[in-house]
Structure 1
């Protein structure tokens, strides 16, 4: 713009200087060398007019700016040149005065043109209304040139033709402007646009390049000048004279080019403004869609915003969304979002992927554009679309993480509605919609899972408590509310102790220390017992699942008491039998058969007494005996246990060994019960190890506890039997060697270890022996 303004100033200066230099030379020729000349600036025109008007002398002022001389200055100049001075020569002749008047009129006309150029130049600097500015330029051109009407043709980007945009003082063309259009190279405007040169036609009525409607309108002569921006012709200015075929000359043509350049600058400014406005509107629409995507997980709301914003940017008569069918990979489900065609296509119709534009876009993950269905129908479905009123359409694939999740389809009743001018913007909208579809699908899946979980939590009899990573209550179900007599809304966000169950805090602490699931029986107010599982949940915190086992505990207590009572009552008869067997041996000599029967009696009574003893011990443990807790030396526990099993090992031919590091830390526990644990494990290892094998006991510190291990080189245990080894009365089925036992020894071990706050486990492989291990806190 600044360059154009500078060029105009140079043009104005050169034009004015040329015209008035001629006036100066003429005045000097007639006035002689004694003429008084003054140069108080550089403003030639105004002083020249004043000087010539009096006919006595000549004052010349220079000033290369438009409108340099204000009215007060002209009055002073007038007073200066009208002072009485001695005439330099006789008065001018009539012909000379006519000549001077002609020169003066030409200078005045030039000044008027420059004035109008200045007004238009200033106006187009800030003008943004194309129609008004072009009309102003054409009107000024008609007034300052020997023209009586004019037209402005502008390039229609969609059709590629130059069509009438401004019609000035040409009533014969009113209502028929649409019929006067030209392609590049066609007619006068087409030729001027293609060649980029101005054209003067003197005999317009005989020139076939002139449109018939213009010839019928009486156009005699015309000027045609290109409106060029950046080397590209965007329009053509035509000026007409309907009275004289010789109305225009080359000077008029050059001046018409100046007006055309002014119009091109005005158009460029307006289009830049329109472009900036359009870009701002596009950015706002994209922001609206982005806000909808970020603020909503409801797909219906997002699709409503997309439909509204797309309508502002790329008008359509039908907008639809195609989504893949879960159980039909060969079809897409097309869902219309907006439609106002003469005949609607079926809603939610399955559309074949093969043989459709929407399917092509889905498979290739690229946009498909059909510019004009009247000229080309590439797919079978195009005929149905055209029949429904669609003239052009675009299919935009919605791709997320490299995979197509749908297709957005726009249809227009106009040809070439979609292309390079709006496809990049539509693709950006498609990218945002793909994110929305992905988010909506994730939200739907999460909602489905939430509803399922809510149904489970509400309907289950199990109590469920969820804690966050700070061990505050996130959720508890109705069963928990009923059992603990709390309300979920009141305890939400509160720490676990708010629930008032101390054993829950103890179980949580154990799980926290172990960083693993912990199972405990906990007592709650009211005398009820719960079986609780506390497990860590990644990125959530903790989940506590509890079952009310009070009825089972009561039943088990009755069973334990009954077994203890029966077992106690059995001990006396068994003792009597054993005593009788001993006395029978001393009563007199026994034959071989009697001796065999007596041995079997003694062996059976011992087994029965061992079984009854184990039952009583287990019953007492389950009844919750008071443990005699004190500091216990691990060496003493192992030594006492070895003493008890030495005879059994010797009879079986199994070697015993010990591996204890020096200075083991003491453990807190009941010495007798811990010795019982080691005895049971050693006895178990000896029983299941063939003669010549070895049973070893080891101990070492581990993570704040003491780890005991009893390893044997025995038969080993099948993997399928390992989970049940510590159950009551469980015996490994189908073992190759029949081993005597009650099936309670390992149950007693597990009960004692857990009452000491430890845990017990086994590792074994068939044919390679077993290792039983347990921990006791130090």
Structure 2
């Protein structure tokens, strides 16, 4: 600034000096004012920059919040949120950490620029350091990793990871449904501003709510999906009565519904062992029926309670073959209907798709187990009803056959009786015509014919009567000494054996159990067998009776050395009226003898069988239940 001096005649030198001084002071004050103006302008510019930064952060938060609220999956959320946190905190790298309090583990769903070695170190440090766990969910600001004493346990690893500073930002919701942190890392040691931290916290808070909403949405969708599939299972189990279809459907539908890797249904059979129905089990795993009460299926059945294993290999009763195939987690529930536990429904996960079973998984599994139990019970009842219906149908068919046989029986009896009665009548009439006191040879012959035919007719009637008794009547139940019965039969046939030149042998074991039955009908059984044996055995042959005990049963064999029975005829010989022909010749008889043997033996709760070889002879074996010692003593 230039000045022009104006001197007036009245100004003195002192006044001029004073004026100059005032002028210098004014110039100094003006310079100060100009400097202050410049400072104010700088401060205003800085304030504007800060305001712009705040506005930019706020705008970023708003934009990110809008984007996060539109996202419907965690896979989409993590990259968007991580990028926003990285930008708003001026960080170089980020990582998200979620706390799994149930299993004391740290999950890391997303990282950007962090090595796996560092992440593994953080996981291990979390599990081994309770203090680190307690402080992990709080806001922590480390402006310099090398100088801050709080980083001492992590400093060496952070130095290798080239981390200079970091900020821990809580990532959680007030209802504790989500606990975790976002960590913003800087390569250089630079201080975080309060505005950066505040904006980062706000963004993480919004992100936590967005992730919670995503999980709620996914849970809702999953519940709807499970509800639909559970309804499908209910419909399938209620509409199918075929047990194999039910067993295969239950384990398949349950495995798919819960999202397990594989499953099996163990079903109790005869209250002794469990047989398995697998789904997606490795083919080389052998699932044989098990009697081992220590295995998991049996334990679930005996306790009638669910079982969940987070680490199968650590289970005390773990099976080595399952450990080898990589079984990691297991959930099982009883298959139950009322108080009746019929088996166990078990689902598996393997290590390559490691996943824990949640409480809701077990609840669904228990529900399916109850539905499966009711379905299996219904199927069994239906099968039993079908069996009864089939048995009834067979009985009705049998009754129809019996009616038909009865008709044939009446017809045959009429036919068989008609001729003998006619002959008897004719010869009796002839005798009545003779007046002589002594019989003539012809009369004597007629009498012999009458006696023979009468005897044959009587035998036939007796056989028919016994056959009807075996079919329709209750026999007497007397205690009988088996040895005495056989010895009496031997006595009856000794004379016949001598006359026919046939050797009659007996091999009777001592101390045989007593048998229970009707001695008259049992004598008829052995009478028919011995008669047949003598009928088909030539002179010089033999008939042998062997009697012994096996357990509480009495075994009786009648063996002859006769002509034998062709193999094709053996399956028919116990049928009524069936007779074996020998070279077109049929031996005399009614064909009721062996049918009578079978029906009387079976009426005594026994069993008869036959074996034969042509030219060598035939053996009939009869098994009769003995009387228990305590009952025989009574």
Distance, in Å, in 2 between the alignment partners of 1:100 and 1:433 is 77
User: Whose helix fraction is larger, Structure 1's or Structure 2's?
Assistant: 2
Q: Structure 1's 368 and 448: CA in aligned 2 closer, same or farther, altered over 3 A?
A: same
Q: Secondary structure at the match of 1:103?
A: helix
- Is the Cα contact below 8 Å between 1:370 and 1:394 reproduced in 2? yes
Distance, in Å, in 2 between the alignment partners of 1:549 and 1:211 is 107
Q: Secondary structure at the match of 2:305?
A: coil
Question: Is 1:278 aligned to residue 219 of structure 2?
Answer: no
Question: Which residue number corresponds to residue 351 of structure 1?
Answer: 291
Q: What displacement does 1:293 show?
A: 0.6
Describe how 1:168-317 pairs up with structure 2 within 5 A: 168=112, 170=113, 173=115, 177=119, 180-181=122-123, 191=132, 194=135, 196-205=137-146, 207-210=151-154, 214-232=158-176, 234-243=179-188, 245-317=189-261
Q: 2:332 aligns with which of 372, 395, 400?
A: 395
Describe how 1:580-599 pairs up with structure 2 within 5 A: none
Q: What's the TM-score once normalised by structure 2's chain length?
A: 0.53
Q: Secondary structure at the match of 1:203?
A: coil
Q: Secondary structure at the match of 1:229?
A: coil
Describe how 1:46-195 pairs up with structure 2 within 5 A: 93-156=37-100, 159-168=103-112, 170=113, 173=115, 177=119, 180-181=122-123, 191=132, 194=135
Q: 1:375 aligns with which of 311, 314, 317?
A: 314
Distance, in Å, in 1 between the alignment partners of 2:133 and 2:195 is 18
Distance, in Å, in 1 between the alignment partners of 2:72 and 2:155 is 31
Question: Which residue number corresponds to residue 366 of structure 2?
Answer: 427
Q: What displacement does 1:421 show?
A: 4.8
- Is the Cα contact below 8 Å between 1:199 and 1:253 reproduced in 2? no
Describe how 1:295-694 pairs up with structure 2 within 5 A: 295-326=239-270, 329=271, 331-341=272-282, 343-347=284-288, 349-353=289-293, 355-377=294-316, 379=317, 382-387=319-324, 389-414=326-351, 417-418=356-357, 420-458=359-397, 460-461=399-400
Distance, in Å, in 2 between the alignment partners of 1:318 and 1:185 is 31
Q: What displacement does 1:364 show?
A: 1.9
- Is the Cα contact below 8 Å between 1:160 and 1:183 reproduced in 2? no
Q: Secondary structure at the match of 1:321?
A: strand
CA offsets 1:709-733 (integer angstroms, 9 cap, x no match): xxxxxxxxxxxxxxxxxxxxxxxxx
Q: What displacement does 1:234 show?
A: 2.0
Q: How many equivalent residue pairs?
A: 381
| Bigger relative contact order, structure 1 or 2 (CA pairs below 8 A, ≥6 apart) | 2
CA offsets 1:123-181 (integer angstroms, 9 cap, x no match): 2223212232232122122222232221111234774322322223x1x5279755652
Q: Secondary structure at the match of 1:93?
A: helix
Runs of 5+ unmatched residues, structure 2? 1-32, 419-634
CA offsets 1:225-275 (integer angstroms, 9 cap, x no match): 1211235352210011112x2331333323222122112111111111111
Distance, in Å, in 1 between the alignment partners of 2:182 and 2:132 is 13
Q: What's the TM-score once normalised by structure 1's chain length?
A: 0.44
Distance, in Å, in 1 between the alignment partners of 2:86 and 2:357 is 39
CA offsets 1:401-450 (integer angstroms, 9 cap, x no match): 21111222233334774453521121111111111211111121122223
Question: Which residue number corresponds to residue 61 of structure 1?
Answer: none
Distance, in Å, in 2 between the alignment partners of 1:345 and 1:218 is 53
Q: What displacement does 1:375 show?
A: 2.5
- Is the Cα contact below 8 Å between 2:95 and 2:110 reproduced in 1? yes
Distance, in Å, in 2 between the alignment partners of 1:208 and 1:313 is 49
- Is the Cα contact below 8 Å between 2:308 and 2:357 reproduced in 1? yes
Question: Which residue number corresponds to residue 631 of structure 2?
Answer: none
Q: Secondary structure at the match of 1:230?
A: coil
Q: What displacement does 1:281 show?
A: 2.0
Q: Secondary structure at the match of 1:362?
A: helix
Q: Secondary structure at the match of 1:350?
A: coil
Distance, in Å, in 1 between the alignment partners of 2:376 and 2:323 is 29
Q: Structure 1's 409 and 211: CA in aligned 2 closer, same or farther, altered over 3 A?
A: farther
Q: Structure 1's 239 and 319: CA in aligned 2 closer, same or farther, altered over 3 A?
A: same
